[in-house]
Structure 1
Amino acid sequence: MMPRVTRRAGASLLLAGLFGPALAQPGTPDIALRLDERQVRSAGIDLARVEPESGPSEIALPGQVVVPPNQLRVVAAPATGLIEAIFVAPDERVRAGQAVVRLRSTELVEAQRLFLQAATAADLAKEKLRRDEQLFRERVIAERRLIITRAETRAAEAALDERTQMLSLLGMGDGEVEALRRHRRIQQGLVVSAPMGGVVIGRAATPGERVAQAAPLLTVADLRTLWINIQVPIARAPALENNARVMVPALGAEGFVLRVGRTADAATQSVLATAEMNVGAEALRPGQAVTVTLQVRAAGQPQWRVPAGSVVRHRERSWVFLRTREGFLARPVQVVNETAQFVSIRGDLSPDAQVATRGMLALLAELAEADQS
């Protein structure tokens, strides 16, 4: 059993914590653990020298490919009706204005009837106004009657404009409305067109289905540029910055950090960083899970590499155990990146420093006991 250790403030403190409260915090002191050689050997403690690292650091994190919201268009039913046919399939590429759905609608029929009624009323009002203006010039009628006729004409034109706008909302184009007014032939259905060019990434309806007005039918997406939503542990979020380079090495895609979220997920304690992939986006698929590498800022602190397992967690901080003449010195550090073999850290270390790599449970137990004393 190792003897009780004493706690003392270390000579060096970390600068402002790069990774927030989950890692080293300003004012966190070192903790001295007094162990002789016999106790070190009995605990099976091995040592390794720290290695300096230079250049920009990277971290690997999971992410999911999504379509930017401004590149999505939902094709909705312009009117209540029956879907007669859908002309495109999922993952099919479409162009702007291409016919995608044919819809039969009694609501559209009624809207056309009301439009023709309003058009007839407007034509009659115009003819009446023309006649009354002629009669007024000939001094046959009073000015009051002309004023009333003008007001009736404006009301008829407003009603016609309202019915025209209603047909437009129901999916009829200007040419179709003009043809309806000229030929007075009512259509039983209409064709819905793609609002933009892209790829059909979702289909929410099937032929033969009856849908309500504004019900979604298809989703079209422009996939030339994609986003990746990256789950970043809250401890590492302060190390990220906008415009930092982002890569998907397995697929050759590259981009940059668009923004780093300001809110954390309560369940996972992570923040959402969004990266825009503008190079090699054709290799990505919406909904795909990927592993991305992100550059993190250096913050002017020296960076070191130690073997995996050299860093332990205690009281929501990361620590390494430095070998000293009296035993070990537990020092808080900032974890930058972790792999299966190495851990990149930042802290007040030196090139000749040695850290413990084995026997960590014994050292961690002594650290926990010393931190409570």
Structure 2
Amino acid sequence: MACALLLGLATSAVAAEPTPNEVTIRLDERQYRAAGIEVTRVEAEAGTTQTVLPGTVGVPPAQLRIVAAPAAGLVEEVLVAPNEPVTAGQPIARLRSPDLLEAQRLYLQALSAEQLAAEKLRRDEQMHRERIIAERRLLTTRADHDYARTSLQEREQMLALLGMAEADIRALREQRRMVPALTVIAPAEGVVLEVRASAGERIAPAAPLFSIARLDPLWITLQMPLAQANAIVPGTRVSVPGTPAQGEVIRLGRSVDATTQSLAAVVEVSDGAEALRPGQVVSASVALRPNGTPQWRLPSGAVVRHAGQSWVFVRTQGGFRARPVVVVAETASTVSLRAKLAPDDHVATRGILSLLAELTEVYGG
């Protein structure tokens, strides 16, 4: 029965007209039999299908804030815990720092120098109006005052960079009383993902203390097989079964993971993000929409990969035609693909190593 089918295909089955990038492989009946090639008829299926891909939930980089220690010192108190929501400006830790004391001392010193330079400038301006001093001396005094004022502004900015609040800087300027500790505040509203310091710990400047993130929306980074690279496009809808989480693909990776030979597809979950957790591993259902190209189902062994493209070998009167296809879903036994095939086309499913060798020779490795 199988032999009769093969003989019939050798004389009557004709594939569609060649399309660009196809490769014709000449194969007579003797070579066909010697290679042990078996073929099967393509099976049409609906144009829309679902494929399930693994992914990892993460926080978009623009929504993640790392709070670092503004100065070296001793952590006196940690005021928040992991998974605790915080608001912008909320105190989250207190830090006792000798660097802060030194910065305040230099600020007060610059403040005194600026006030002295201002008083000297006022006096020299009065003396210049009375023609007691030359204009050159007045210009020198003005330059000295500008320098002192700039130095004071620099020291004030240093206090702000160390995390000192504006109200505390104003109190230091007016009361000249230094404070030994500073309060670390949350830079934005979000949830504390990680606390990296504890009370009593000595820390270095810029040491990370907290990770704070806004958790809506979230991203899912899907691991997409290279064979499906052309089937998933930005805008493709994605859902997480068992949860209300839904979103769409916003970006496709351009580099291939050398170990898994997969691409990364980033999904932004805009609906139901509260059901997901950063770091969670999920199985996402990807809805592949029809694109006008017919969709077919074949045994998984019918598809080969060569030169960055998936191929099937379509039986013709003179041999086979290697035709590029787009894989949209794949299981251990079957594969769904999109290609310009006809309902009566037959493709090779076994013994295709010889056909692949011909494709490599003609198309290039």
Considering the TM-score relative to the shorter chain, is it more than 0.5? Answer: yes
Cα distance, 1:350 vs. partner? 3.8
Counterpart amino acid of residue 23 in structure 2: T
Structure 1 residues 330 and 124 mapped into 2: Cα distance closer, same or farther (>3 Å)?
closer
Cα distance, 1:150 vs. partner? 1.5
Structure 1 residues 131 and 347 mapped into 2: Cα distance closer, same or farther (>3 Å)?
closer
1:122 alignment partner in structure 2 = 114
Gaps of 5+ in 1: 17-25
Cα distance, 1:321 vs. partner? 8.1
1:71 alignment partner in structure 2 = 63
Cα distance, 1:345 vs. partner? 2.5
Cα distance, 1:341 vs. partner? 6.8
Structure 1 residues 55 and 12 mapped into 2: Cα distance closer, same or farther (>3 Å)?
closer
Aligned with residue 302 of structure 2, among 267, 289, 311: 311
Aligned with residue 103 of structure 1, among 61, 74, 95: 95
Structure 1 residues 343 and 79 mapped into 2: Cα distance closer, same or farther (>3 Å)?
same
Q: How many residues align?
A: 345
CA distance in 2 between counterparts of 1:132 and 1:216 reads 50
1:251 alignment partner in structure 2 = 243
Structure 1 residues 366 and 128 mapped into 2: Cα distance closer, same or farther (>3 Å)?
closer
Name the TM-score, length of structure 2 as normaliser: 0.81
**What per-residue deviation string (whole Å, max 9, x for no partner) do you get for residues 145-180 of structure 1?**
222221211111111111111111111122111100
Instruction: Note if contact 1:241-1:297 (Cα within 8 Å) is conserved in structure 2.
Output: no
Instruction: Note if contact 2:22-2:323 (Cα within 8 Å) is conserved in structure 1.
Output: no
Cα distance, 1:310 vs. partner? 6.3
Structure 1 residues 309 and 72 mapped into 2: Cα distance closer, same or farther (>3 Å)?
closer
Identical residues among aligned pairs (%): 47
1:19 alignment partner in structure 2 = none
**What per-residue deviation string (whole Å, max 9, x for no partner) do you get for residues 181-223 of structure 1?**
1111111110000000101112222222211111110010000
1:285 alignment partner in structure 2 = 277
2:170 alignment partner in structure 1 = 178
**What per-residue deviation string (whole Å, max 9, x for no partner) do you get for residues 82-140 of structure 1?**
11111111111111111111101001100000100110111111112222222222333
2:22 alignment partner in structure 1 = 27
CA distance in 2 between counterparts of 1:320 and 1:58 reads 25
Counterpart amino acid of residue 27 in structure 1: E
CA distance in 2 between counterparts of 1:159 and 1:213 reads 23
Name the TM-score, length of structure 1 as normaliser: 0.80
Aligned with residue 12 of structure 1, among 16, 19, 22: 16
Which stretch shifts more, 56-65 or 136-145? 136-145
Instruction: Note if contact 1:33-1:366 (Cα within 8 Å) is conserved in structure 2.
Output: no
CA distance in 2 between counterparts of 1:221 and 1:31 reads 61
Cα distance, 1:14 vs. partner? 6.5
RMSD of aligned alpha carbons: 3.5
